[in-house]
Amino acid sequence: MKRLIFFNLLLIYLAGCTTGTHESRRTTLLDTGWQFINSEVEGGARPETSTEDWEDVTVPHDWAISGEFDSSIDAQEIMVLEDGERVPKMRTGRTGGLPHLGIGWYRKALDIPSSYGNKRVHVEFDGAMSHARIYLNGEFIGEWPYGYASFGFDLTEKVQFGEENILAVRLENKPFSSRWYPGAGIYRNVRLVVTNPVFVKQWGTYLTTPGIRNGKGTVDLKTTVLNKSGESKEVTVETQILSAAGVLVSTGSEAVHIDEETTVEQNLEVVAPDLWSVDAPVLYTAVTRILDGDKELDRYETPFGFRYFEFTSDKGFFLNGKRVQLNGVCLHHDLGPLGAAVNVSSLRHRMKLLKEMGCNSIRTSHNPPAPEMLDLADEMGFLVINEAFDEWKMAKTENGYNKLWDEWAEKDMVAFIRRDRNHPSVIMWSIGNEIREQGIADGAKYCQFLVDICKREDPTRPTTAGFNQWQGAIKNGFADIVDVAGWNYKPQHYDFIHNKFPHWKMYGSETASTVSSRGEYFFPAVEKVHFTRDPYHSSSFDNEFPRWATSPDREFVAQDSFKYIAGEYVWTGFDYLGEPTPYNIEWPARSSYFGIIDLCGIPKDRFYLYQAKWTDEEVLHVLPHWNWDKGQKVSVHCYSSFDKGELFLNGESLGVREKDPSGLYTTYRLVWDDITYVPGELKVVALDENNNPVRETVVKTAGQPAKIVLESDRREIPADGKELAFVTVSVVDENGVLCPRANNLINFSVEGEGVVKAVGNGDPTSLESFVKPYRKAFNGKCMAIIQSSETPGNIKLVAESEGLLSEEIAIKTGI
């Protein structure tokens, strides 16, 4: 058996959210005091240019998410080869129909005291969408066009110490440059970093270990130090390693001579280190100090974790010596109603839901994620496939990455790897998704080019890519160049490929792409391929999918049958803005139907199908709702961790069903077809092997909408002006039963220390604003996202609707 083993000790480079941590390195988050205008401004970078008509904003900021939907925005008449199209079609909702196009200017005044005159001043951007051009005091500093890349610049030579300095950013989102909603603006964090002239370079630490031997973890740390003092320096590089409890467990120092730049290598040992894993993500901290005698010139604090892993060609993936099935999802970067502006509270909320479902891995589709997402993955125990590109030199979109490839591919790849190569959560570098070069004879040279960069910058991790052209990827050498082959929607070919290339390591890099609208059910509940209907919704029986995709069940069969497949990454964990397949040409469809969880964060039925498969929890979830026309023939499905169940309607047994592998849709579900609907109570009782009842679940017929019920994910949140509470709104009858077709307009008001940040309902055809304090329920539910102020106190959210009993909920802030 051929194996590749990757064993290293990994650090996390925190994005610098802390302000003023140490005298030797002051990091300030530049989140407030920005001004913005969504238009071209002649001389927009010059300090004397008036900003009277500009608006005040905080960063991260997505200028498009508060706008109105419009079918003409970025409508793309295009032939999508990946969807099997052979003629161009006008795709109206491809990028979400929100006003993300055009030019935006941002400006912020920086007060940099004269006492910093002997310091170095840097600005760091985690991401700006897109074609960023940075200016200070009217002078051009630098540019970085790729909107998903992180970058930084040294401002020192342009700084006016002791005076006001104007930092200006010009962004431009071009039409036909994306296949989904990209967002717009400075949508990730920005920091000002002030150091001494001798300092650790941005992303300047790289930490690995060759393994754990004799109960000790050997740590190899490389630290790149810059010297901008203008003269040679003799310094000491000292590193201390602290346990999760803050106990010193190892230390080492190295005396070095620095002219302009040097990389210092240190080797340390940690006795009996705790390993990082998905169940116990233990983190250590490396504190690196640059010392000139007793004077500290710089301090660089680096959380990290020990873990080792391997991909094998016959048994899949192993973490710390134990086989782990990769139960993964693909995620786009937008946060639904919040847009693309990164918010740690929202990311954490989403990742908690994924953990609850049994997800242990994320593929960052199809671009570098926000650093905060990787920080949370390290903290919460997610494995990450970190992806760089959706496009190389061959165009998928007219103004996509193909325009940047020649000049920027290596720069972007290096920045991507150096920023993220020390996260314990990251297990692979994905160099691309469904790249069109798969299909051309010389396409392999581009693949090899990127793989070589990965191996140069981080030889400890395998490379991968998501291949949809499986024959082309094999014929043209792509699958042989990467370390682990990722197959998009190819469960029917896993065994053929494995038998032909038994030494390859493989996984499902993109699976299922089942489409559904939360709470929508259509009969008969049979499999449908690329099926559309009016209204523009897909069935929540989870058996509808595009022509190139499949159902969860079919992928489950392949994953269970072929243990050499390391796992799967479902398209997608959450619905996202744009790409409303199968309704690509039907407006008002403007967001995806692929998500296991809807756009605003409410789980669809499919959530419980995966939870039953991926966890050891007892799961018993029945669908559909029980409000139909009397006498209608209805199918009933139960997503269950139990193998057997009995269905009752108003106390009368309708039969026992067992999971039956002779049928695709009975292998992982309990199914009753052709049930004649009568109102009342539908109940499924789970049975053990001796037919004893062990659990039951009930769905009741709802009466008329009578009142509102509010449920918050948290009742206490920090008072930092950024923290969020996600309040699910349900419309119920007088007995508290969810009204499954209710679409009442819910009005929100807030008293106290908070605001309604955003609203949503998961309806991919809704053109309602995400930022107005009202929302129609979609199939009985919607969501209000509440943001705290910076003042401790209480928030009272009131939800009202004509004809319904109102409801309120209190959320405490300041903890």
Q: Could you give the residue numbers annotated as active site?
A: 434, 510
End-to-end Cα distance, the chain: 54
Per-residue DSSP letter, 677: P
Q: Which of 200, 444, 335, 318 is nearest to 758 (CA)?
A: 335
CA 545 to chain centre: 22
CA dihedral angle for residue 551, residue 552, residue 553, residue 556, rounded to 10 degrees: 130
Distance (Å) of CA 269 to CA 90, 245, 272, 274, 321: 60, 18, 10, 13, 21
Q: What is the DSSP string of 123-184?
A: EEES--BSSEEEEETTEEEEEE--TT--EEEE-GGG--TTSEEEEEEEEEEPTT--SS----
One DSSP character per residue, 498-543 reads: HHH-TT-EEEEEEEE-----TT---SS---EES---SSS---TTS-
* Angle (deg, nearest 10), helices 344-357 and 371-380: 40
SS3 (DSSP) at 381: coil
Q: How many CB atoms neighbour CB 210 within 10 A?
A: 14
153: Cα separation from own chain's centroid: 26
Q: At what angle do helices 405-420 and 371-380 cross, to 10 degrees?
A: 30
* Residue carrying the six token digits 């070589």: 452
φ and ψ at residue 193, rounded to 5 degrees: -120, 120
List all residues 6 or more positions away from 208 whose beta carbon is below 8 Å from its beta carbon.
8, 9, 10, 220, 460
d(CA 147, CA 334): 13
Strand partners, 545: 529
Contact 555, 494 (CB under 8 A): no
Give Cα 777 distance to the centre of its chain.
26
Distance CA 605, CA 638 (A): 10
Query: How do strand 216-227 and strand 261-271 relate by DSSP bridges?
Result: antiparallel
Distance CA 247, CA 18 (A): 22
Strand order of the β-sheet with 151-154 is 25-29, 190-195, 120-125, 151-154
- CA distances 579 to 91, 128, 311, 400, 555, Å, are 9, 22, 33, 16, 22
Tokens of residue 162, six digits:
């002791």
Q: Report the distance separating Cα 361 and Cα 370, nearest Å.
A: 16
In this structure, the number of other CB atoms found within 10 A of the CB of residue 730 comes to 21
The amino acid occupying position 623 is L
* Cβ pair 428, 461 in contact under 8 A: yes
If one counts every other C-beta atom within 10 angstroms of the C-beta of residue 688, the result is: 12
Q: Is 659 helix (H, G, I), strand (E, B) or coil?
A: coil
Helix (H) or strand (E) holding 607: helix 606-614
> Which amino acid is located at 346 in the chain?
S
Left (φ > 0), alpha (ψ -120 to 50) or beta: where does 463 sit?
Answer: beta
Q: Which residue has the tokens 């009782």?
A: 685
Paired residues of 132 in beta bridges: 144
- The DSSP symbol for 467 reads E
The DSSP call for residue 491 is G
Minimal CA–CA distance to 598: which of 750, 722, 466, 766?
766
**E strand or H helix that includes residue 374:** helix 371-380
